[in-house]
Structures are given as C-alpha cells and as structure tokens.
C-alpha cells in the first residue's frame, strides 16, 4: 500500500489533495486536528492532518510448478476463532444428519415440497418440522393431502413461526435512523431509497451523516443522492465531528446515518463504531445484509452486532439470488423481524416493505407453482 501524509487548513482542502494523488479509491487511514504555533508562540493555527493510502493491484505471478514427487506443505495453523467456527459447523452437520434421517420416513408425496424448501435454503430443522406436521395430519385423517393442502399447511406453520416478529417499514417516529452493515451490501443506496420515501411520502425534512470516511467514493455517492433530494450531508471522521453534525442538523425531522462498510466479522471494527456513534440518542438501528452472502457469514455479523439494539433487518439483492430461506433462518434464530427487502438499484423504486405473507409466498414460489 502506498501511504502519504497531507496537511491543510480544512478537511475539504485535504481531500482535494488526496483525490488528486490517489483518486476515488483512496483509503483514509487516520485524521487529526493539529495546532501550530504562530509568531513568538502565540496565535495558534488549526490545521487538519490526514494519512491516506492506496492499495495497488498486486503483480500477477505465475504459480510455481511442483514436481509430483514433492508434496506441497500447507500451513495448518488455526486461530481459536477458526477452530470454534469449525466445531460449530461439525455440530450443525451432525444435527442436520439426524434431521435428514427423520425425513427419510416421509411419504413420496411430500418430497417435492421438502426438496423445494431445501433448495430455498430453509434450515433442515424447519423443513423437518413442516414435514412431520403434514405427515402427522395425513396419518390422523387417513388420507393423502393434495399439493395445495400441503402448501396451505406450510404457509400456516411459517406464519405462526413469525407471528411475534415485527415487520414493515420505518415509522419515522425516531429522529435518527442508523443503518449498519458490512461492506458491499448496498447500505448507501438503500438509505437513499428510504430517505426518498421519507421526503416524498411522509413530507419529512431529512438530512444525512456519513461516518464512511474510509473511501472517498462512498462519501461522493451519498452526496450525489443528497443533492438529488436537496438534503444536507455532514461527514463525521470522529466522535466530535459526529456531535457537531448532530448540532448542524438540529432542524431536520429525520437524520439518516450511513456507517462505514467494514468487515464486521472482526470485533475491533464494531468497537470502533460504538465509540464514534452516540447510540443513546433518539435512534433506531437497522442491520443491512445481502442475500448473496453466505448464511454463516451473515450469522456471524448478526452476532457481532448483538451489543446494539437492532430494530429490524433490511435484506438487499433479492433479485440476485434464487434462495431466500436464510432470511427466515436468521429471523427465527435471532428473533428479529424485517423492515424492507430490495431487488434492484433504482432509487426509490426497488425497495419493498416486508410483510410475512409476502415473504412466505416468495419462499414457496415454484413449489407446485404456488
């Protein structure tokens, strides 16, 4: 990584220098306000000092060819976290094998439905519960159920499983809407879609704060959306900046906070977030997850954010996947409902308020042409 230190009177001037050298893919490594002494030690001046970097693409190297007689030695070291994850995976595999053994006694009439649920990524335990309930009812009534009867029972069971979870969009009763999530899930675009609705449908005066200061492109993307919505944007590089932004946007009805996209499987990034944002404010927090991510990765991220009061999930990129079962698994395992799901990049069109009946219909779409 190339690194360089910049100093200027304002952050805006610093960022111009960074962009000139490294472009929009620059990464801000640190930022501090420094005071320099003036004439005879008096008349101190404030300036901003920033260390920025740029990841150069690694040179392409040819993979060495090893003789057949010389086996390659691999590093088999494991961190405690990796070992724990592997143990959890093993336990899950054993549990799934037990569930599959229970499923083997179900009649052939049930197998297409269960295969569809499996393809959708619904958990093995949920599939087994659905299969057993339908099978037990078939035995009790001493008849085979039609495809439609099987679907009705499945919808009934899934609906009951989620009846205590909150669904639906943001009410805008809270002044601060904090949007959390890892890198690459589409947080900024999702914020723009929700903010546009707050402005156009709910007639709210909106504003934005971004703490995503690691990539210049992220700030510029939010500025573009904010300009279209004629709303102010404040950039917070540290906790003091965040407090100042709150003061500057005091006249706004709703303030959307766009947090940094980081690898939140690492605890330190979650801790950094808790130091930067004042979570004691009149605030609701929403966790954005991409349905194109691995379920295990999403699960780890949800667990990392347990220290914050996550109101609901927002799932993105539904149009880029053919399996939405992980949505149901995460909601069930963590007892958290869903506010929205998105299925495209258009602002503000490609976002839908979540509803349990809608989601169940989407899950069963294609099973017996449901």
Q: Are 184 and 261 in contact (CB under 8 A)?
A: yes
Residue 75 confidence class, pLDDT cut points 50, 70, 90: very low
38 or 334, which is more confident: 334
Q: What is the pLDDT of residue 148?
A: 92
Whether residues 153 and 185 share a domain: the answer is: no
Distance CA 169, CA 181 (A): 18
Number of domains in the chain: 3
Q: What is the pLDDT of residues 198-244, one digit of tens each?
A: 999 999 999 999 988 777 777 888 899 999 999 999 999 899 999 99
295 or 263, which is more confident: 295
Q: What is the pLDDT of residue 259?
A: 86
Q: Are 155 and 364 in contact (CB under 8 A)?
A: yes
Predicted confidence (pLDDT) at residue 76 exceeds the cutoff of 50: no
Whether residues 128 and 180 share a domain: the answer is: no
CATH number of residue 209's parent domain: 3.40.50.300
Predicted confidence (pLDDT) at residue 306 exceeds the cutoff of 60: yes
Residue 334, number of CB atoms within 10 A of its CB: 17
Q: What is the pLDDT of residues 160-185, one digit of tens each?
A: 999 999 999 998 989 999 999 888 88
Strands (E) located in 233-370 = 233-235, 254-258, 283-290, 310-316, 337-342, 351-353
Whether residues 131 and 181 share a domain: the answer is: no
Predicted confidence (pLDDT) at residue 143 exceeds the cutoff of 90: no
Percent of the chain with pLDDT strictly greater than 90: 47
Q: What is the pLDDT of residue 170?
A: 93
Distance CA 218, CA 211 (A): 10
Predicted confidence (pLDDT) at residue 288 exceeds the cutoff of 80: yes
Whether residues 37 and 182 share a domain: the answer is: no
Which one of 161, 187, 207 terminates a domain? 161
What's the gap between Cα 346 and its chain centre?
19
Whether residues 141 and 254 share a domain: the answer is: no
The boundaries of the domain holding residue 147 are: 90-161
């Amino acid at each position: 990584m190339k690194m360089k230190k910049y100093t200027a009177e304002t952050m805006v001037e610093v960022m111009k220098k960074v962009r000139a050298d490294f472009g929009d893919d620059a990464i801000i490594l640190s930022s501090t306000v420094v005071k320099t002494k003036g004439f005879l030690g008096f008349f101190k001046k404030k300036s901003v000092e920033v260390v920025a970097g740029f990841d150069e693409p690694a040179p392409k190297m040819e993979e060495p060819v090893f003789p057949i007689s010389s086996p390659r030695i691999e590093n088999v070291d494991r961190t405690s976290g990796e070992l724990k994850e592997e143990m959890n995976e093993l336990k899950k595999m054993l549990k799934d094998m037990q569930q599959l053994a229970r499923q083997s006694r179900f009649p052939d009439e049930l197998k297409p439905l269960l295969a569809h649920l499996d393809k959708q990524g619904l958990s093995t335990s949920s599939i087994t519960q659905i299969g057993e309930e339908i099978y037990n009812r078939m035995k009790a009534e001493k008849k085979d159920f039609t495809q439609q009867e099987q679907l009705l029972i499945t919808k009934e069971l899934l609906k009951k499983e989620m009846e205590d979870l909150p669904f639906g969009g943001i009410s805008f009763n809270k002044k601060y809407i904090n949007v959390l999530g890892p890198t690459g899930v589409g947080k900024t675009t999702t914020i723009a879609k929700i903010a546009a609705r707050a402005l156009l449908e709910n007639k709210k005066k909106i504003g934005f704060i971004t703490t995503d200061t690691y990539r210049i492109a992220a700030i510029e993307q939010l500025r573009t959306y904010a300009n279209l919505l004629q709303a102010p944007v404040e950039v917070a590089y540290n906790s003091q900046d965040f407090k100042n932004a709150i003061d500057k946007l005091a006249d706004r009805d709703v303030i959307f906070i766009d947090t940094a996209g980081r690898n939140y499987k690492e605890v330190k990034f979650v801790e950094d977030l808790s130091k930067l944002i004042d979570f004691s404010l009149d605030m609701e927090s929403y966790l954005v997850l991409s349905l194109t991510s691995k379920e295990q990765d999403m699960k780890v991220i949800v667990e990392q954010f347990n220290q914050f009061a996550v109101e609901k999930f927002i799932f993105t990129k539904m149009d880029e996947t053919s399996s939405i079962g992980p949505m149901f698994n995460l909601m069930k395992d963590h007892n958290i409902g869903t506010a929205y799901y998105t299925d495209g990049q258009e602002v503000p069109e490609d976002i839908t308020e979540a509803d349990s009946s809608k989601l169940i219909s989407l899950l069963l779409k294609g099973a017996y042409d449901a």
